[in-house]
Amino acid sequence: MDFQVVVLAGGTSKNLTPLVSKEVPKPLLPVANRPLLYYVLHQLEQSNLKDLIVVVEGEDAALLVGSWISGTFVDRLHVEIAAVPEDIGTAGAIRAISHHLTTKDILVVSGDLVSDVPPGAVAATHRRHDAVVTAMLCSVPVSGPSESGSSGGKDKAKKPGRYDIIGLDPGKQFLLHIATGAEIEKDTRLQKHILHAVGQMEIRSDLMDAYMYAFKRSVLQEVLDQKDTFQSLKHDVLPYLVQSQLKSEALLNGIPQAEENGNEKFSSQNNQVLVSQILFNSSIPSFHKISSVDPDGSASIRTHKCCAYIASSSSYCMRLNSIQAFMDINRDVTGEADYLLSNTSSDHNNVIGPSPKLGTKTTVGPHCMLGEGSEMGDKCQVKRSVIGRHCRIGSHVKVVNSVVMNHVTIGDGCIIQGSVICSNVQLQERVVLKDCQVGAGFVVTAGSEYKGESMARKEK
Amino acid sequence: MDPRRTARTVSDPKVRQVGFFTPPPDHAISDPPRHHDPIQSPSQSSPPVNDRSPSDSSLSPVMIPPPRHHSDALLRTALQATSPTKPFSPSTRTVMIPPENKDLRSPGRKVVYGKSPSSFSGVKASSVPASELTTVSVVNLALGISGKILTAEEAGGASVEVQNDRRASSKPLKEKTSKAERRALQEAQRAAKAAAKAEGSKASSSASKVVTSENTKPIKATKPSSQKNDGSQVAASDKKGGDRAPEKDRKKDAPHPRMQYDDTSRVEKAKKRAVVKQTEARNRVELFRHLPQYEHGTQLPDLETKFFELDPMHPALYKVGLQYLSGDIYGGNARCIAMLQAFKEAIKDYSTPPEKTLIRDLTARISSYVSFLIECRPLSISMGNAIKFLKSRIAKLPLALSESEAKTTLMLDIDRFINEKIILADKVIVEHAVTKISDGDVLLTYGASSAVEMILLHAHELGKEFRVVVVDSHPKLEGQLLLRRLVRKGLSCTYTHVNAVSYIMHEVTRVFLGASSVLSNGTVYSRVGTACVAMVAHAFRVPVLVCCEAYKFHERVQLDSICSNELGNPDAISKVHGREEINYLDGLVNCENLQLLNLIYDATPSDYVSMVITDYGMVPPTSVPVIVREYRREHLWS
């Protein structure tokens, strides 16, 4: 279908500091015992997109990700890994791989997207409107531990209103304004001429930019070439394209064909004009066309279209860009959105891997996941938690609303609530953790109590 | 209502046959099929008939015996006709085998099927040349297997098995058969399902049944065909091999019966093939049930999600399909051009797969594209004609042409079609029509026709002083777009809705209308509302000029706008665009008592049309068939 897919997998994200490390870059962060990247790749595979470019920040991370992909998706996907230096931003990443992009349109997907929205829908919308950029918007997910009631200080710190302000046309097809949460301080500026052209704009703050974009390749490359300062697709490129959509002469000069005047060559120039005019006249005009036609009737101003695909509210869509989101996604993937894990046949709402050893009177509640080879002692309780592979959990341990990764040793009598415990952590006896993050390889001494803290091993 | 429709379906084929071919000889008509029994059965097949008929008659007592005979005869005659061309005469074989089988079967049906493969091959080895033997014995083996499956399973499996056998058995024959024989076999295959179903229900003697069906396959074959057609058809197929060729031509010429969407079984079948998920609208107006109507809300999102999964679909086609589906492109010319350009892209990127010929494979490819487009929105007549043109160009490509040459030829052909048949035609129409506009005229137009728009603009450029009345209607309000463009160019316009047409008609001096198609009885098939405008104009004695490019003409004859039409989205008329406060129908849309009808086209009788302006000049509507005939012969299809 003439689309190339670029997955921006990221590297060691700072937002997730205790969880990700050099050994476990963000793409490989286990979510419900699967690396985060799996969700994106799996979904692309489902949509029959088998040629992918995965961009990873950092050489080491790229090696790790590459080996994981080749191990998991061998014979199923054709993946090329590109390693880019860290901190060059998403726009920089695209710039770096720009010479590999050849097709007419490009689908850019963030590697931290966990969603069941079909990418084909975004691409189809893009094609149908012949847009320059199409962004997928999804409704803002319900964040926070909604049912548990344990709202720690860390979650409260998350400011409300960090979401994007998005302006749409009445038909909800075109993107008229976009301002991402971080940039909005008190007020946001709207483009008057766009408002004038459209007549009516719907401003919404309940939508989130899901970081799945379809770009017209030529335009994207040109923007990236011309604007060296652009760092991020979301913060720089997209707003730029949206703002300049009605006066894009400068932008599209290098492109031989205007979008709506097809790319057909006719023997007679006159006939071509007529053909395009017939097509032009008999398609439903968007405001672009109306505003691009001068009062004297000649189409003089070049415009381009920025479209939006709004995912239906029933679909699941979430980005893993904070620790809270990590918790939420873990909860959802094991719980209500368990269809994202394709091969689970969970009849009774919890997934227990092969050969777990459970002690007597140990209960594993619904919405739980237990990796293979994990052992649990007597009288343990596990509720709404994910426990990784080869964990050893002692007796009288309570794990609620938590994520425990692989190879974790938990001593007797520990109580863990709302926490993330990374791989190879050792919790000694009677540790009480509430809303904590414990970095990989950390050792929590016996009898200690922590609340709302984040612990990590000192870097040597 | 129902009786009326059935009456139409019955009469329809008759009318068609009168139109297309000469009545068959008297004896053929008068001969009831049963009459052939004594003539043919003595020669070879009477014992098996007697043997089998009691068991079969319980299933369908009337139909089975006659068709078996006549098609047996058919096959035989076919073989006779073709036998000179072949080195060994298979006619002996076909005569030989069936009785053999039946003899085997008759003593004890339940026992036989295990034995039958061996006995078959024995028979074959003795009577038939070696090359034939291998292929048929394969079939027999398959039969034995299928028999076992049949006993284990229920009748449902039977049909599939039987069909497979059919195909396998027919293949070897095909290689050395003549046209007539192939036709017989084709009919056999077509009827396979019906025959298989009839057999499958007899579980006890299923194995032997399959055997019979295999051997007497051509016999069963014609059963459905004789059901469908009337006596003349049966008689015609009973004629000797020499007469068959014209009959075949006739079959080709006869228009495909349009899919009737109130025929549930066929709709189900079509649905299985469909790419676009189509949910039938539940509440359809009784009179229009035979037209497709789908829930409009679900189609687009569903098709969009499958974007990357439709591998064989070319992106350009996909885009056009999406645009049809979402209504982004409308109008006969625009849709046709968009489709042709998409085809051009597809041909440009096309490469013949190995071991296939370009002509065949590309035709098949185009057909699959077309069926996709039909699922997105029913084709307009203009598109149908353009497709016909393209296919005929493909079919007429010289075999010697290399692939790239063929592709360039086709792309040039497409360009030529767009240029000559649409663009140049429009220019000529404009030239003709402008002569009919004089100073002081008040011209009325309805909807937004690209040809009419060009006429008006050109007349304005020539400096003629006239006024335009744009009549519009819900729900599309295309007239507003036309109005916008006209006003910008400085024409003085009046805008009104079709409800007021009788009041505005007083001051109008000419009516210019666009058309989706002009049919060969002069009927103008156009945007719904056109007929109303034309009728009012006729009543006020205002001349009605229909502007239509000749490539949109069609040889079909249509008397009303019911039998063939398109249904639009019913929601479009239940909601008033731009006025959310008018929501009287909210919550009633799914009510069973309410049926919404959003017709897209209507048919204007030729009485109301004073003149058709086409690229061949201005002609009265009665001359349309002449143009159809000449145009078809000389410009497109030959």
Nearest chain B residue (CA) to A296: B488
CB distance from B420 to chain A under 8 Å? no
Query: Does the structure show a pLDDT above 60 at B75?
Result: no
Distance CA B139, CA B143 (A): 6
B2: alpha, beta or left, given left = phi > 0 and alpha = psi -120 to 50?
alpha
**Rounded (10°) angle between helices B65-82 and B90-105:** 150
What are residue B364's phi and psi, to 5 degrees? -65, -40
Tokens of A171: 């038909």
At CB < 8 Å, which residues of chain A contact B?
1-3, 47-49, 104, 118-121, 123-125, 127-128, 130, 262, 264, 266-268, 271, 274-275, 278-279, 281-285, 293, 295-297, 312
Q: Name which of A77-91, A441-455, B98-112, B135-149 the model is least confident about.
A: B135-149
Please answer whether residues A287 and A343 qualify as being in contact, where contact means their C-beta atoms are separated by less than 8 angstroms.
no
Query: Which residues from A are below 8 Å from B315, CB to CB?
Result: 1-2, 104, 127
SS percent in chain A: helix, strand, coil, step 5 = 25, 25, 50
The type of residue at B368 is: S
Nearest chain A residue (CA) to B346: A1
Query: Does the structure show a pLDDT above 80 at B450?
Result: yes
pLDDT value, residue B275 = 65
Query: Does the structure show a pLDDT above 80 at B406?
Result: yes
- Fold identical between B264-421 and B436-565+600-635? no
pLDDT value, residue B101 = 43
Task: Give the burial string for A365-376 (b: 16+ CB within 10 Å, else e).
Answer: eebbbbbebbeb
The type of residue at A51 is: D
Distance CA B149, CA A50 (A): 40
* Domain residue ranges of chain B, discontinuous segments joined by +: 264-421, 436-565+600-635
**Looking at residues A84-98, what average pLDDT do you find?**
84
Which of A57-66, A172-181, B402-411 is predicted most confidently? B402-411
Which of B30-39, B255-264, B495-504 is predicted most confidently? B495-504
Nearest Cβ partner of A278 from B304, B309, B450? B450
Query: Does the structure show a pLDDT above 90 at A350?
Result: no
Q: Which of A43, A130, A269, A282 to mutate to test binding with chain B, by most B CBs within 10 Å of its CB? A: A282
pLDDT value, residue B147 = 37
Residues 6+ apart with CB under 8 A from A115: A39, A43, A138, A210, A212, A311, A315, A316, A317, A318
Minimal CA–CA distance to A198: which of A164, A171, A237? A171
pLDDT value, residue B636 = 53
Query: Does the structure show a pLDDT above 80 at B544?
Result: yes
Q: pLDDT tens across A370-383, in order? A: 877 788 888 888 88
Nearest Cβ partner of A120 from B308, B326, B450? B308
**Rounded (10°) angle between helices B332-348 and B403-416:** 170
Residue A444: exposure state from Cβ atoms within 10 A (0-12, 13-18, ≥19): buried
Strand residues in B480-598 grouped as ranges (E): 492-497, 510-514, 517-518, 524-527, 544-547
Instruction: Report the Cα B203 to chain-centroid distance in Å.
Output: 37
Tokens of B533: 């405008």
Residues 6+ apart with CB under 8 A from B532: B498, B501, B602
Please answer whether residues A326 and A403 qualify as being in contact, where contact means their C-beta atoms are separated by less than 8 angstroms.
yes
Looking up tokens 């360009």 gives B415
Strand residues in A261-347 grouped as ranges (E): 306-310, 317-319
Q: pLDDT band for B510, please (50, 70, 90 cuts).
A: very high
Query: Does the structure show a pLDDT above 70 at B234?
Result: no
Structure ipTM: 0.74
Residues 6+ apart with CB under 8 A from B103: B47
Query: Does the structure show a pLDDT above 50 at B569?
Result: yes
Largest separation between any pair of C-alpha atoms in chain A = 87
Q: pLDDT tens across B236-254, in order? A: 444 444 444 444 444 445 5
* Domain residue ranges of chain A, discontinuous segments joined by +: 3-318, 345-455
pLDDT value, residue B634 = 54
pLDDT value, residue A383 = 83
For residue A23, give how far its alpha carbon lies from the nearest alpha carbon of chain B (Å). Answer: 35
Distance CA B222, CA B242 (A): 19
Other beta carbons less than 10 A from residue A316's beta carbon: 18
Strand partners for B496 = B471
Residues, chain B: 638
Minimal CA–CA distance to B199: which of B237, B165, B234? B165
Give percent of chain A with pLDDT exceeding 70.
Answer: 75
Average predicted confidence (pLDDT) for chain B: 69
How does DSSP classify residue A245? T
What are residue B319's phi and psi, to 5 degrees? -65, -45
Strand partners for A2 = none
**Looking at residues B412-432, what average pLDDT do you find?**
91
Query: Does the structure show a pLDDT above 90 at B461?
Result: yes
Sheet containing strand A426-427, strands side by side: A375-376, A392-393, A409-410, A426-427, A443-444
CATH fold of B264-421, please? Answer: Four Helix Bundle (Hemerythrin (Met), subunit A) (1.20.120)
Q: pLDDT tens across B423-449, in order? A: 899 999 999 999 999 999 999 999 888
pLDDT value, residue B119 = 37
Strands A449-451 and A432-434: parallel
Write out the H or E segment, with its range, that includes residue A437.
strand A437-438
**Looking at residues B182-201, what average pLDDT do you find?**
62
pLDDT value, residue A86 = 78
How does DSSP classify residue B472? E
CB contact under 8 A, B322 and A124: yes
Q: pLDDT tens across B99-138, in order? A: 444 444 444 344 334 333 333 433 333 333 333 333 333 3
pLDDT value, residue A446 = 83
More confident residue, A193 or A154: A193
pLDDT value, residue A183 = 57
Query: Does the structure show a pLDDT above 60 at B633?
Result: yes
Query: Which residues from A are below 8 Å from B311, CB to CB?
Result: 48
Query: Does the structure show a pLDDT above 50 at A445?
Result: yes
Instruction: Report the Cα B619 to chain-centroid distance in Å.
Output: 30
Query: Does the structure show a pLDDT above 80 at B70?
Result: no
Distance CA B554, CA B614 (A): 13
Tokens of A353: 């891997």
Q: pLDDT tens across A146-162, in order? A: 433 333 334 433 444 45
C-alpha angle A40/B276/B573, rounded to 5°? 115
CB distance from B277 to chain A under 8 Å? no
Q: pLDDT tens across B8-26, in order? A: 444 444 444 433 444 444 4
How does DSSP classify residue A299? B
Distance CA B338, CA B377 (A): 14
Residues, chain A: 460
CB distance from B417 to chain A under 8 Å? no
Distance (Å) of CA B366 to CA B299, B344, B377, B554: 22, 11, 16, 21
Distance CA A419, CA B382 (A): 66
Residues 6+ apart with CB under 8 A from B82: B177, B178, B180, B181, B241
Distance CA B493, CA A232 (A): 51
Distance CA A363, CA A387 (A): 13
Minimal CA–CA distance to A244: which of A174, A187, A193, A286? A193
Query: Does the structure show a pLDDT above 70 at B471?
Result: yes
Give percent of chain B with pLDDT exceeding 70.
Answer: 55
Tokens of B136: 């048929």
Distance CA A135, CA A238 (A): 9
Query: Does the structure show a pLDDT above 60 at B502?
Result: yes
Looking up tokens 């295309």 gives B478
CB distance from B549 to chain A under 8 Å? no
Query: Which residues from A are below 8 Å from B337, CB to CB?
Result: 275, 278-279
Tokens of A148: 């548990």
C-alpha angle B506/B509/B513, rounded to 5°? 105
pLDDT value, residue A444 = 84
C-alpha angle B409/B412/B414, rounded to 5°? 110
Query: Does the structure show a pLDDT above 60 at B73?
Result: no
CB contact under 8 A, B322 and A127: yes
Distance CA B283, CA B297 (A): 15
Say whether A57 sits in a helix, a strand or coil.
strand
What stretches of B349-477 show up as alpha helix (H) in DSSP?
A: 358-376, 381-395, 403-416, 425-434, 450-461
Instruction: Report the Cα A134 to chain-centroid distance in Å.
Output: 15
The type of residue at B350 is: Y
Write out the H or E segment, with its range, that includes residue A166.
strand A165-168
Q: pLDDT tens across B350-402, in order? A: 888 888 888 888 999 899 899 888 888 888 888 998 998 898 888 888 888 88
More confident residue, B297 or A297: B297
C-alpha angle B464/B470/B473, rounded to 5°? 165
- Distance, first Cα to last Cα, chain B: 43
Write down the CATH superfamily of domain B436-565+600-635. Translation initiation factor eif-2b; domain 2 (3.40.50.10470)
Please answer whether residues B101 and B95 qualify as being in contact, where contact means their C-beta atoms are separated by less than 8 angstroms.
no
Q: pLDDT band for A448, please (50, 70, 90 cuts).
A: confident
pLDDT value, residue B438 = 92
How does DSSP classify residue A169? -
Q: Name which of A314-318, B315-319, B344-348, B503-507 the model is least confident about.
A: A314-318
Other beta carbons less than 10 A from residue A282's beta carbon: 25
Tokens of A211: 């970081």
Query: Does the structure show a pLDDT above 90 at B530?
Result: yes
Distance CA A78, CA A82 (A): 13
Q: pLDDT tens across A285-313, in order? A: 556 555 555 444 444 456 778 888 888 77
Distance CA A393, CA A363 (A): 13
Query: Does the structure show a pLDDT above 50 at B509?
Result: yes
Other beta carbons less than 10 A from residue A319's beta carbon: 20
Return residues 282-321 of B near A (CB < 8 Å).
301, 303-311, 315, 318-319
Pick the CATH number of A3-318 from 3.10.129.10, 3.30.70.260, 3.90.550.10, 3.90.190.20: 3.90.550.10
Give percent of chain B with pLDDT exceeding 90.
Answer: 23
Please answer whether residues A207 and A180 qualify as being in contact, where contact means their C-beta atoms are separated by less than 8 angstroms.
no
pLDDT value, residue A288 = 57
**Looking at residues B464-471, what average pLDDT do you find?**
94
pLDDT value, residue A302 = 65
CATH 2.160.10.10 fits A345-455, yes or no: yes
What stretches of A118-168 show up as alpha helix (H) in DSSP?
A: 119-129, 153-156
CB distance from B326 to chain A under 8 Å? yes
CB distance from B419 to chain A under 8 Å? yes
Q: pLDDT band for A131, please (50, 70, 90 cuts).
A: confident
Residues 6+ apart with CB under 8 A from A225: none
pLDDT value, residue B133 = 32
